[in-house]
Amino acid sequence: MIKSKIAGIGYNVPKNIVSNFDLEKMMDTSDEWIQTRTGIRERRWVEDGMANSDLALPACQQAIRMAGIQVKDIDAIIVGTVTSDYNFPGMAPIIQQKLGITSNIRAFDISAACSAFIYLLEIGDQFIQTSKYKNILLVGSDVMSCTLDKTPNGRATGVLFGDGAGAVILSPATDDSCILSTHTFADGSGVENLHGKAPGSKFYPNRINKEIIEQGHHFITQNGREVFKNAVTRMPEAVKLAMEENNLAIEDIKLVIAHQANARILEACATKMQLPEEKMYMNIHKYGNTTAGTIPIAMCEAIQEGRFQKGDIILLTAFGAGYTWASAAIRW
């Protein structure tokens, strides 16, 4: 059976650093509260005029360079995001255009929030396994800063999120390096606990108007405690399935790269998985929660830090709005 591999990977974060101390001046919060409750010290927020596709483009170009292919070799672009440039069309055709791809390849978005990157891997992996496409550009990218209420009213979620992009080229495996498995899940009973409602057809006929904005429906809203409880249950469950399917013991795993939403969530997951702390990757202190961006960004930084190498087995896992959650096992 044809397997897929990550042939190239790249990331990009905005230059503009926003520290917890900067947030103290906007919201009724403190560096101490944010660090103790979340582990976040700073995050990056785009400056005016930078759309999600602008943020994602350098990540795509890095991934393409590393894969050693030309843009003309890309057969499909799939983007995972909740903060596309426009309400529609998706961001994938915008990336296609910005990359200068003039052939009529397929390009579309998926919406699976923080789990999007693993959903993308699963979709891309299927297209490669069936030989439908050869080189697929997968992009996980979000500009969460435009969904935040940056006033004291929004402090509960405003301090958590940052902007960031990651991209990979998925291609047919040529040796042992491959995606070993993916598992994706959803539970729609979680919708009300984490969402950004407007613009949406629920607000017929306009999707958005002054009243909807006054009510804050265009901001991200979450029931943090409920989401926390579900995250620390679902991610270890998904990792367990990945380990069982691939007959893996903890000793076989070089690194777990989990969605970076809260350091306490990552610590609790590591404890549940009986995973030594050093095998749970963390860079949340620098970027906060970048939604679809966290996993590819963390993978890139872990590679730069020499945390895993060719032949090593890494596990990915994520949990987010929907609820959605997922895991993937990869032999690098």
For the beta carbon of residue 64, count every other beta carbon within 10 angstroms: 22
Query: Is residue 261 within the footprint of ligand UT7 (CB under 6 A)?
Result: yes
Smallest gap from Cβ 144 to ligand UT7, in A, equals 9
Q: How far is the CB of 14 from ligand UT7 (least distance, A)?
A: 19
CB crowding 231-262: b at 16 or more within 10 Å, else e: bbebbbbbbebbbeeeebeeeebbbbbbbbbb
**Residue 57 Cα distances to 61, 63, 137, angstroms:** 6, 10, 11
Cβ distance to ligand UT7 smaller for residue 200 or 224 = 224
Rounded Cα distance, 281 and 308, in Å: 11
Q: Does 265 bind ligand UT7 (CB under 6 A)?
A: yes
Q: State both tokens at 147.
A: 């969904």
| Count of all residues that appear for the chain in the document | 332
In this structure, the number of other CB atoms found within 10 A of the CB of residue 100 comes to 8
Nearer to ligand UT7, 137 or 261 (CB): 261
| Residue 280 in contact with ligand UT7, rule: CB under 6 A | no
Closest by CA to 255, choosing from 220, 221, 292, 300, is 300
Q: Yes or no: say if 69 and 60 are a contact pair by the CB < 8 Å rule.
A: no
CB 264 to ligand UT7: min, Å: 7
> How many whole angstroms separate alpha carbon 60 and alpha carbon 167?
5
Q: Number of C-alpha atoms within 13 angstroms, CB side, residue 53?
A: 17
Q: Which stretch binds ligand UT7 (CB under 6 A): 9-17, 139-147, 152-160, 164-172?
A: 152-160
User: Quick one: 64 or 231, whose CB is closer to ligand UT7?
Assistant: 231
Q: Residues 98 to 117: which contact ligand UT7 by CB under 6 A? A: 114
Q: Give the residues across from 3 on adjacent strands.
A: none
Is 227 one of the binding residues for ligand UT7 (CB under 6 A)? Answer: yes
Smallest separation, CB 174 to ligand UT7 (Å)? 35
289 part of the interface to ligand UT7, by CB under 6 A: yes
Q: Which of 20, 135, 262, 327 binds ligand UT7 (CB under 6 A)?
A: 262
| 324 backbone dihedrals φ, ψ, rounded to 5° | -125, 150
Q: Which of 265, 175, 281 is closest to 228 using CA atoms?
A: 265
146 is annotated as an active-site residue: no
Interaction between residue 225 and ligand UT7 (CB under 6 A): yes
* 183 catalytic residue (yes or no): no
CB of 297 to ligand UT7, least distance (A): 14
Per-residue contact string for residues 306-325; x = within reach of ligand UT7 by CB under 6 A: --------------x-----
Q: Cβ 227 to ligand UT7, closest distance in Å?
A: 4
Set 52, 259, 262, 269: catalytic member: 259
Give the residue at shortest CB distance from ligand UT7: 224
Instruction: Measure CA 152 to chain center.
Output: 27
Concerning whether 217 is annotated as a catalytic residue, the answer is: no
For residue 153, give the 3-state DSSP assignment. helix
Chain residues binding ligand UT7 by CB under 6 A are 29, 33, 37-38, 114, 155-156, 159, 224-225, 227-228, 231, 261-262, 265, 289, 320
Enzyme catalytic residues? 114, 259, 289
